[in-house]
Structure 1
């Protein structure tokens, strides 16, 4: 088994959450197998979520937390994100981190475009896993909403900057899961962490 460099992002903005528990389980298991993990907890990060009016020609300087996040995305071979599903999307603070940190010249190249005119991705050669908690069962997320959140993560954010494939592991219904169910989820996440998957 090869040792991997992993960036792990807990995308839940609360100080304590199921997502944080899953992230910490993944981290412990991955580190126990010798993988190198750099951990970012959105709830503890301080930054302005608003991209503002400057555009790409006059971007706000990155706060230390966002510079560390982007540097670790550049460093990593595997990206792991935990996120709850809120109103069909990710929490605003997690989206704000992506809005601010994934900048041209670091995450994508607007001077060089693909065959269909998209900026060239600059974070290629990395894979991703999203651990998604929701109250909507995975089958209904697909049938009723066309897996919109998965498309946003896999195609419009991570895939756009070259991180692919993005695989998903869904945990639902999450709000009132009993301890036995949560423990089974932790065991599943621990296995993923051990395998750096």
Structure 2
């Protein structure tokens, strides 16, 4: 299976990088074809420009990275997103990815004249997995902050596009937990993705 990982974290010593390594190792053990989109290393520009907005209307992207990512994502059979949650939302590069790559003519098209119903163009994708880190306790994130990522990312983006197989792995209170617990998380992730079918 071709698995595309979309990754966003600028610091190579981060726990997100350790997650990326564990997930990649598990996928490779299962002999999946792994392709990495590393937004930080790619120099991806998250800003939606006037030219990008015109391209949105015309369903024809102008950003060379978006065009490159389109070719990669059209071959994906499973998507994995890995990023930290900062101030209850995704970092700017990941938000820019959603704005500029989840784009008509790239990720989806409309099925009616009023442009209200969408159909995904990444037709090979059978599942979407989101893996996030945060320091907020899970109960607070769900209750006080309204589960913002689930609403915006899992429902507001990928549910709208029509992907039924969506999973979110939330690792909470990362700074507060023991090194032993972090290691256990990484082993579990490696095993989980080694079993991905």
Counterpart check, 1:24 vs 2:21: yes
**Would the alpha carbon gap of residues 13 and 166 (structure 1) be closer, same or farther in structure 2, given more than 3 Å must change?**
farther
Indicate yes or no: 2:61 matched with 1:43. Answer: no
Normalised by the length of structure 1, the TM-score is: 0.86
Matching residue of 2:157: 157
Q: How does 1:138-153 map to 2 (within 5 A)?
A: 138-153=138-153
String of CA shifts for 1:5-34, please: whole Å, max 9, x gaps: 211122223333111110111001111111
C-alpha deviation, 1:171, in angstroms: 1.0
CA distance in 2, matches of 1:114, 1:159: 21
Where structure 2 has 5 or more consecutive residues not aligned to the other structure, the ranges are: none
SS state of the match for residue 43, structure 1? Answer: coil
Structure 2 equivalent of residue 95 of structure 1: 95
Could you tell me which runs of 5 or more consecutive residues in structure 1 were left unpaired when the two chains were aligned: none
Partner of 1:61: 62
Name the CA shift for 1:116/1:109 in 2 (closer, same or farther; >3 Å).
closer
Q: Which residue of 1 aligns with 2:118?
A: 119
Q: Flag the 1:162–1:62 CA change in 2: closer, same or farther, 3 A.
A: farther
Off by >6 Å, runs of 4+ in structure 1: none
Deviation of 1:148 after TM superposition, in Å, equals: 1.6
- Give the secondary structure class of the aligned counterpart of 2:127: strand
The answer on whether the counterparts of 1:8 and 1:80 sit within 8 Å (CA) in structure 2 is yes
The alpha carbon displacement at 1:47 in A equals: 2.6
Assess if the C-alpha contact under 8 Å between 1:51 and 1:99 holds in 2.
yes
Corresponding pairs, count: 192
**How many angstroms does 1:37 deviate by?**
0.8
Residue aligned with 1:44, SS: coil
Secondary structure of 2:165's counterpart equals: strand
Aligned to 1:173: 173
Pairing 1:132–2:132 present? yes
Return the offset for 1:48.
2.0
How far has the Cα of 1:123 moved from its partner?
2.7
1:114 positional shift: 9.5
Task: Judge conservation of contact 2:84–2:91 (CA < 8 Å) in 1.
Answer: yes
Instruction: Kindly state the Cα deviation for residue 86 of structure 1 after the two structures are TM-superposed.
Output: 0.7
Name the counterpart of 1:11: 8
Q: TM-score, normalised by structure 2?
A: 0.86
**Secondary structure of the equivalent of 1:163?**
coil
Gap change, CA 1:156 and 1:144, over 3 Å in 2: same
1:42 Cα deviation after fit: 2.0
1:79 correspondence with 2:79: yes
